[in-house]
Structure 1
Amino acid sequence: MSSSTRCFVVALCLVMISYSPMAAKGEQGLAEQICMESFEDKEGCLALLKQADPKIVSAKSFQDLAEATLEWAVSKGSEGQAFLKELAQVDNSPAIVQCANFDYDGVVESFKSALGELKDDPETASYDAKVAGDGPDCCDRGLASANINNPAIAALNRQILLLSSLAFNAVSKCGD
């Protein structure tokens, strides 16, 4: 192979490599599609996806997206509850104890229930995914009534609310 042919092949490869990220950015995955179509807080939803399990952003069907989102939601809800329980031991505020032991029990159980019902009863699964958002709402209200302003809890509650909405919308599209 002549040197000019090699240069051409190398240049062609560099051009193809430089355009591949642009093509990837131009394509919108199913999760991003839901963020753009269904969320008032599109930026928050897209930011959440940057932290997401890769199975979520690479899902090829709404069924796969719903399952991956619910699995991640169970994990994040459990992690959040563990964080709240540790905080409740240190702070011992009744409002934080309520968040940890009641509100987030509901979050985790609702996400688990939605995951278990996804294949056989998507309608109930979508309801359970939506109901999981009640826990962070109740937690926020309880903290506000106790005059507790904790940015870490607020961020956790916001993340779980976004996950609840993402899961609800993904499950709702499973029949499409």
Structure 2
Amino acid sequence: MDSPTLKISTLSLFLFLFLSSTQAQTSNLVDSVCKETLDYTKCLEALESDPKSKTTTDLKVLAKIAVQLSISNAKGSLSFIHDEIKKGTGGAQQEALEKCASSYETVVESFNSALIELDDDVLSANYDIKVAGDDVDSCKSELVSKKVEIPALSDRNDQVKLYSNIGFVITNKL
């Protein structure tokens, strides 16, 4: 005769093994995507900042998570740029910041379009995600050409470039 304690222990062990295998699959999805990006560690940090990424096994869901994070990041960067413009430093820095603001407005639009397109036209979403990264390059180039150094903006450019790369890797797999 089985004891109640043995039944509970067996059930607990089965549940633990099931949840462990599910978690391993989840980690494998994010892990496999991040291995193909510009920066594995930063990719993991970015995707895992949304807890849903740790539990999804669906690439399309992960794509939506990545693009939503991209939009949030790009909007934050655009706000940063607008705050810098308001400081009114003038000259080359002001010109570079205005060009970057224009670039980031396009970045946000591209990510927003990609999010909508994920359900109906993955190829267009993939393109818009890639274009968002290219638009960040316009800001980077403007900073270099005007000999303007704003380390916080350079870091933000790198982050958006990474988010673009993450989204591009994921949508290439869809």
Does the TM-score normalized on the shorter chain lie above 0.5?
Answer: yes
Give 2:46's aligned residue.
48
| TM-score normalised to structure 1 length | 0.78
| TM-score normalised to structure 2 length | 0.78
In structure 1, the residue corresponding to 2:148 is in which secondary structure? coil
Deviation readout 1:118-144 (Å, 9 max, x if unpaired): 111001111111111012211111001
Change (3 A) 1:162 1:132: same
Identity of paired residues, percent?
A: 32
| 2:141 is the counterpart of 1:141 | yes
8 Å contact 1:48–1:159 — kept in the other structure? no
Deviation readout 1:92-125 (Å, 9 max, x if unpaired): 410011101x100111000000011111100111
Residues 116-131 of structure 1: matches in 2 within 5 Å?
116-131=116-131
Aligned residue pairs total: 156
| 2:88 is the counterpart of 1:85 | no
Give 2:69's aligned residue.
72
Higher RCO structure (Cα 8 Å, ≥6 apart): 2
Give 1:150's aligned residue.
150
In 2, Cα distance between equivalents of 1:137 and 1:88: 19
8 Å contact 2:26–2:56 — kept in the other structure? no
Displacement after TM superposition at 1:72 (Å): 1.5
Displacement after TM superposition at 1:172 (Å): 1.9
8 Å contact 1:122–1:171 — kept in the other structure? yes
Change (3 A) 1:27 1:122: closer
Which amino acid is the alignment partner of residue 105 of structure 1? E
| 2:99 is the counterpart of 1:98 | yes
Structure 1: runs of 5 or more not aligned: none
Which amino acid is the alignment partner of residue 113 of structure 2? S
